[in-house]
Amino acid sequence: MTRLTRSDLFTLEAYAAERPAFRARVLAHKRSRQLPIGPHATLYFEDRLTIHYQVQEMLRIERIFESDAIEEELEAYNPLIPDGRNLKATFMLEYPDADERRAALARLGGIENRVWIRVRGCDAVFAVADEDLERRDEERTAAVHFLRFELNDAMARRLKSGGALAAGIDFDRYRHEVDPVNSAVRDSLAADLA
């Protein structure tokens, strides 16, 4: 997928007019890109459209219109767009109760490194987590992580030709698996691969 450039973005004024329709389109698109794994973890797979929406929302919320600041947002978000043989996702640990969330994050340190996907007939691929972020605490984890799953050519070919996909978390305090991933999600992710 190609990276976003300033020419892909709406101006703040144009986005104000386009936002309702654009937002509805993105939310419909995202439905086939979400993958809950167990009761408290979800992978939200990113692509060019989801990142375009995130950038537009940041520009709107922060009222960013200067060229340099727009470029900074693009630099921050473009690495989340799949490029080649990888899938990229925002991994969220979701606990509605703040006390429960705090306790869970304290006992789930390192869980982000144990998230995997597997194309049927191939080995599991564990995520590369937060590769551009410094790890602050080895004991705790954060509620949000950015993951990259790097597939080899055989895996990509199988997935693109309809091969089943599974996903899971292999962590001693949170072990869950989805096998198979529903076909709408699988097809959406297969479209990300070059």
Digit-coded pLDDT (tens) for 35-57:
999 999 999 999 999 999 999 99
What would the mean pLDDT of 110-136 be, rounded to a whole number? 89
Q: What is the pLDDT of residue 137?
A: 59
DSSP states of 15-39: HHHHHHHHHHHHHHHHGGGEEEETT
Distances (CA, A) of 57 to 49, 125, 135, 144: 12, 32, 27, 18
Q: What is the pLDDT of residue 133?
A: 60
Which own/partner contact pairs does 66-69 have at CB distance under 8 Å and 24+ positions apart?
Answer: 67/6
Residues in contact with 31: Cβ distance below 8 Å, sequence separation at least 6, in sequence order:
184
Give the dihedral sign, CA 91/83/49/11: positive
pLDDT band, residue 59 (cuts 50/70/90): very high
Please give the Cα distance from 175 to 186 (Å, whole number).
21
For residue 66, is pLDDT > 70?
yes
Q: What is the pLDDT of residue 3?
A: 94
Please give the Cα distance from 38 to 43 (Å, whole number).
11
pTM: 0.92
Please give the Cα distance from 76 to 70 (Å, whole number).
10
Q: What is the pLDDT of residue 138?
A: 65
- Which tokens is 16 given? 């104000």
136-187 pLDDT, tens digit per residue, is 556 789 999 999 999 999 999 999 999 999 999 999 999 999 999 999 999 9
Whether residue 21 contacts residue 153, with contact meaning beta carbons closer than 8 Å, is answered with: no
| Mean pLDDT over each residue of the chain, to the nearest integer | 95
44-48, 83-87, 128-132: range with lowest mean pLDDT:
128-132
Whether residue 104 contacts residue 74, with contact meaning beta carbons closer than 8 Å, is answered with: no
For residue 8, is pLDDT > 70?
yes
Q: What is the pLDDT of residue 140?
A: 87
Q: What is the pLDDT of residue 194?
A: 82
Q: What is the pLDDT of residue 82?
A: 96
Please give the Cα distance from 108 to 142 (Å, whole number).
9
Among 130, 116, 187, 122, which Cα is nearest to 152's? Answer: 122
